[in-house]
Structures are given as C-alpha cells and as structure tokens.
Chain A
Amino acid sequence: MKGMTIIVKTISSWVKLLIFLFGIYIVLFGHLTPGGGFAGGVIIASSYVLLMLAFGREFVEKNLSLTASSRLDCVGALMFVAIALVGMFYGAASFFWNFIHQQYLADRATEFKLVSAGIIPLCNIAIGLKVGASLFLVIFALSVFCNDFRCKGSARELM
C-alpha cells in the first residue's frame, strides 16, 4: 500500500490524535460510562488503522513495530492475570478478589468518581492494551495477506 492523496493524509494526521485520545477516554471511564477496555482498545487500534490506510503499511510499521506491538499484546494479558493473582495474596486471599475496593475504597463514598470500583479500571486498562495491540496486529496481518494472494513470499516472513 502506498497511501492516499495529500488531502486524506493531512486530515488523518489531525484526526488520529483525537481518535487515540477518545480511545483512552473510553478505556479510563469504562467503569462509569458505556464502553470499557474492549471498546476503547478497538478505538485505539482504529487510529492506527486510519494511519495505515492513509499513509501505507510501511509508515505504520516504522511507528509501531510488529515486535513491540506483539509484546504490548502479551503485556496486556499478563497485566490482567497479574491483577487477578495479586488478589490471591492480599487480605482475604481469593483469585480475582477486588482487593483495592475492599481494602481502601469500601467505606468512602466514591460512587461515580474516576477512582472507584477497585480493580475494575485497572482490568479495563489491561484489556484496552491487549485488544488495541492485538486488533492492530490482526489488521496488519490482513493487509499483508491481502498481497499474499498475488505473491506468496511476504506472508511466510511474518509467520
């Protein structure tokens, strides 16, 4: 993919930041408003997809390399398991125990504040990271395999 016209390139270089920020907002406020880790992650990934469409695959690969995004993908999943595991060694000790809420927030009126609900915002961040990185990888792979119907070499390198 070579990228599109200068109009598309200019507009998308303005819009990408807003989309990215909106994704972060959806992730962070996931426990208060509609949305959450998955929806926010998809929006974050879509800002990269916009770049991929406007500027071409090579440009995006320079920005966010495949190794980095696949590491981010794993880190997101590891974070989620780690949050669940910390509950196992904390206070009342149970897998997925909401230790922050029970320990610090239960007796304060934190409803509808950003810092509330204990581990749930943390889980949302982990899921957002995981979904954003993996969806980016999925679309990247699709764009590679799209060429693969014509020449068989490039997809083998990705595997």
Chain B
Amino acid sequence: MSDIPLVLPAFVCIPLVAAFLLPILGSFGRKGRVVATALANLAALSLLAMSIASTNQFSVYNVGRWSIPLGINMVLDGFSALFLITVNLVSSAALLFSVRYMEQYTAKPKYLSLFMLMVAGMNGVVLTGDLFNLFVFLEVASIASYALVGFGCDDEQLEASFKYMVLGEVGSMFILLAIGLVYGATGMLNMAYISKAIQNNPTNVVLCFALALFIAGFGLKAALVPFHAWLPDAHSSAPAPISAMLSGILIKVLGVYALVRTIFSIFGISTTVGTLLVVLGVVNMVTGAFLAIGQGDLKRLLAYSSISQVGYIFLGIGLGGALLAAGASPVWASLAILGGLFHLLNHAVSKSLLFLTSGSVEMAAGTRQLDQLGGLAEKLPLTRASCAVASASIVGIPPFGGFWSKLILVIAAIGAGVYWAAALIVAVSVCTLIMYLKVHRYVFLGELSETRQQIKESRGSMAVAMICLACLCVFLGLVFLAPALRAELLEPAAKVLCDGVGYADKIMEFSKDMIVCAD
C-alpha cells in the first residue's frame, strides 16, 4: 500500500517530463533525435508496465497534501485502471509504429512532444478526482490532438484540424459552463463532495441543466451522432499513428470515460438518462455503419466505423444503467456494463490496429482511395494478415476478442428482455462485416496496378507494432474467458459503475484514514 500512492502522479509526470525533455534533446542533431525517440518509447512502455501493476486496486492521492475538498485528489479505481491500461497499451503501440512512420515528416521531436502531452492529458483525465482538474487535462489532451491532426500542414489537414478545433472547443465550453453551474449550485469541485451534495438535493433544476450540458459536451468529444461531423475529417487527415490514438482512445477517454464517470459517479444514473444513452448508442451504431459502407477513402471508412462502434459501448453501458436505475435484476445490468466496457477495450485495440495498417498501406501505395488500390495482398503480407485479424475482431468472428464482447451484449440484452437491441447488435454487425469485406476486396484483392510492382512492406518497428496488436486481438478473448484476468480487469471496472454514487463514500472513507495516518 505504501508505494502505490506515489505511482498516481507519475502517470501524469512521466509523459509531461518527456514532453518537454524530448524537444530539447531533439534539437541536438540526428543523434539527439534517435535518443529522443528511444526515450519516448521507454516512457510509454514504463507507463504501460505501471498501469498493468495498478489493476484491481483502490487508492486516493492528495496532491500537495491538501486534503479534499480544498485540494485536488487523484483516484485510482477499477474503472480508471481499465482505461489506464487501454490508453497506455494503444499509445505504446502507436509510438512504436511512429518510430519508422514519422520519418516521412520533418520535426519528429515536436511530434513526440505533442504525443506525450496528449498521453499526459488522457492519463490525467482518467485519474483525477476533481471536476475542474478533469477539464484542464481534457483541454491538454484536446489541444495536443488539434495540433497533431494538422501535423502534415497540407491544406486538407489544416482544414480538418481547424474544424476539429472549433467543434472541440464548443464542446469544451459546454463542459466548462456545466462545471461552473455545478460549482455554483453545490459550492464544490471535488467529484465525491459534489456527488454527496447532489444526493442531498436531487431535484435542482440548475443541476439538471448542467447534466444536459455535460451530455452535449462530452458527447461532442465522443462523436455521438448529432455531433459527429468533425470525426471523419479529423481522424482521416491525421498521421496514421495519431488516427489510431484518436479513434482508439481519445474519443473514449474524453468522451466515454468522462461522460460515464459524470453520470454514474457524480449525478447518479436515472432511468431517463440510461434510456437516453441507449437511444444515442443505437442511433450511433446504425448511422455510423450506414455512412461507413458508402465511403471511398480507407481512413474515412474506418473513422465512420468508429462512430458505429462507440454506439455499442454506449448501448451496453446505457442499458446497464437503465436497468440499475429501474431496480431490475443487477445480474443483467452488470453484464451489460461489462459487455460495453469489454467492447471498449476490444475496439481500442482492433481499431488502432486497423488505422496502423491503413498507415502501412498509405506509406507503401501512396494513396488511400479504395478504387485506386488493389492487389496489395502479395506485397504487404504482414499488413494484410493483421488487417484481417483486426477486421475479424471488430466484426465479431468467434475466436477473436470482439466476438465475446458482442456476445455478452447480446446475452445481456436478451436477459433484460430488450430483444430489439439484441437484434440490432447482430444486424449492425452484419453491416460491419460488409464494410470490412469491402476494405479487403478493394485494398488487398484484385489486380495490382503496373506502377506498384516495386512497392515493399516496411519491416522493423511498424511491423512489430502491428504484430503485437494483432496478437492482442486474438488473446483479448481470454480476458473474458479466463476468470483470473476477468476478475482483475473487467469486473472491478463494472463494479465501480454498478456502485454508482457509492464512489463518494468510498473516497471519503479512504481520505479519512489518510488524514489519521498523516497525523
């Protein structure tokens, strides 16, 4: 127990130190850039190791030894731990991939610096126990991502970055306004204390309005359907490892994590909000899938598919929340939440792998228009194989991770008696199958054009990153099937959401012990 509280700020410190150290190193010529790249990878791997070590624990850290509600605290619980692992897993793979991939661009140290800032922001969002601090970290991660989307500096990329920035800031302003209203109504910024204050006064109109603003703001970050327009542009214009980060984890941390934490742990879930999440999830699933099928650009197709998959996550979590609030049997509710969270993990891994393979394709063939590609199966065997694994996982073909998470969602929906949702999950999976068959048909099968006879697959770091993620896609099924892993990772996360506003009591009890120890 004694060494764990030290770890929590380190999740933010390590990437933050790296973010400002790397540009200095990178300004000392070629050798400096090599050292900077190596250090960045080392930092990402150490974060991954630390996040694996922090599973299934509960700890609270008071920054600067200011006790809550005066100071800021960091909270690690099962739900945070799941996100920490997801973030650091995808970021280490994306960083490994960028070692070779980002050689195409100039100013690699600046890229590494922004990348690390984004990781610091996301780790901060996941760990913080203070509502305003959450906003600050959210802005750190968002602003770094605006810059990274426009990193190539082409007209199209700058336009996407600008659009993303404007819409992202509108979302941030909604969130800031909501935080201001909550602060005005409760006088607190600490999540646990806000939660207590809301439970004492549940029917305050200002707080209801704040909740609506939170749903709009975080929903914009998560690309929920009325607010999804920025996502296909931003995710397809960014360099491939950044697309992997954005689609794989950024929308989940800034959108799903922050929204779910706010709704479940602070405001407390109600049937209305749960149903709203289910409706939003269903709309996302269907709209994203139909829009994706028609796309002619590989990365835009993948981006629309992300919108569709985020719908699954919201469907699972919303269904669980609605069941919990209605007081139905907690078995199906916790199963639905578990399915949603497990799908989040699966989607993070498989979608980031798909974006990495799209980067490999684009680097070899020089285009990502589906009708100009074709026949790359022989030339890019590793890319093709990992793309096939990731597509199979995202579509939900039996041995892969995605199958199990969709199966849990279907079982939970049937168990709860929501048959139409179960049918819809299967139907949208078929649409997903169609779009990924289209990817394989146009990119890897067919005739190889004359001009591309000489292209070669990039070996080295890009291949290693893709193989690692492909292996994970296969073995993620085990996270659910092996009871030990499930009890370490998924069940604590689902339990935090099932406990709902019990979060506040847990933190206050823990903090009370800590103050006694300090005296």
| Residue in contact with A97 in the complex, picked from B17, B27, B65, CB distance below 8 Å | B65
Residues of B within 8 A of A97 (CB): 64-65
Known A-B contacts A67-B27, A74-B23, A74-B24; A81 and B65 likewise in contact (beta carbons under 8 Å): no
Q: Is A138 an interface residue (CB 8 A)?
A: no
Q: Is B83 an interface residue (CB 8 A)?
A: no
B interface residue count range (under 10 / 10 to 19 / 20 to 34 / 35 or more): 20 to 34
- Asked if B13 and A81 sit within 8 Å, CB to CB, the answer is yes
Stretch in contact with the other chain, from A31-39, A87-95, A108-116: A87-95
Residues of A within 8 A of B17 (CB): 78, 81, 85
Residues of A within 8 A of B6 (CB): 88, 93
Known A-B contacts A88-B6, A156-B153; A70 and B23 likewise in contact (beta carbons under 8 Å): yes
Known A-B contacts A74-B21, A77-B20; A94 and B63 likewise in contact (beta carbons under 8 Å): yes
B interface, by DSSP: helix, strand, loop or mixed?
helix
8 A-B contact pairs sorted by A residue (CB < 8 Å): A70-B23, A75-B24, A78-B20, A81-B16, A88-B9, A96-B64, A97-B64, A97-B65
Q: Is A7 an interface residue (CB 8 A)?
A: no
- Asked if A94 and B64 sit within 8 Å, CB to CB, the answer is yes
Q: Is B106 an interface residue (CB 8 A)?
A: yes
Residue among A75, A96, A156 with the most chain B CB within 10 A? A96
Residues of A within 8 A of B106 (CB): 159
Contacts A94-B63, A95-B9 known; list 12 others, CB within 8 Å. A67-B27, A71-B27, A74-B23, A74-B24, A75-B20, A75-B24, A77-B19, A84-B9, A85-B17, A87-B64, A88-B6, A95-B61
Q: Is B49 an interface residue (CB 8 A)?
A: no
Residues of A within 8 A of B161 (CB): none
Q: Is A124 an interface residue (CB 8 A)?
A: no
Q: Is B326 an interface residue (CB 8 A)?
A: no
- Asked if A159 and B107 sit within 8 Å, CB to CB, the answer is yes
- Asked if B63 and A95 sit within 8 Å, CB to CB, the answer is yes
Q: Is B62 an interface residue (CB 8 A)?
A: yes
A20 to B153, CA, bound (A): 35
- Asked if B153 and A159 sit within 8 Å, CB to CB, the answer is yes
Least CB distance, B264 to chain A, in whole angstroms: 27
Measured CB to CB, the nearest residue on chain A to B64 is A96
Q: Is A47 an interface residue (CB 8 A)?
A: no
- Asked if B107 and A94 sit within 8 Å, CB to CB, the answer is no
Residues of A within 8 A of B23 (CB): 70-71, 74
Residues of A within 8 A of B9 (CB): 84, 88, 95
A77 to B22, CA, bound (A): 12
Known A-B contacts A95-B9, A156-B153; A74 and B63 likewise in contact (beta carbons under 8 Å): no
| Residue in contact with A92 in the complex, picked from B20, B27, B65, B153, CB distance below 8 Å | B65
Measured CB to CB, the nearest residue on chain B to A92 is B65
Least CB distance, A61 to chain B, in whole angstroms: 16
Least CB distance, B381 to chain A, in whole angstroms: 35
Residue among B19, B20, B27 with the most chain A CB within 10 A? B20
A88 to B6, CA, bound (A): 8
- Asked if A85 and B21 sit within 8 Å, CB to CB, the answer is no
Type the 1/0 row for A22-34, where 1 means its CB is closer than 8 Å to any CB of B.
Answer: 0000000000000
Residues of B within 8 A of A46 (CB): none
Least CB distance, B258 to chain A, in whole angstroms: 22
Residues of A within 8 A of B153 (CB): 156, 159
| Residue in contact with B24 in the complex, picked from A71, A94, A96, A156, CB distance below 8 Å | A71
- Which residues in window 31-84 of A have CB below 8 A to B? 67, 70-71, 74-75, 77-78, 81, 84
- Which residues in window 18-35 of B have CB below 8 A to A? 19-21, 23-24, 27
Measured CB to CB, the nearest residue on chain B to A76 is B20
Least CB distance, B287 to chain A, in whole angstroms: 36
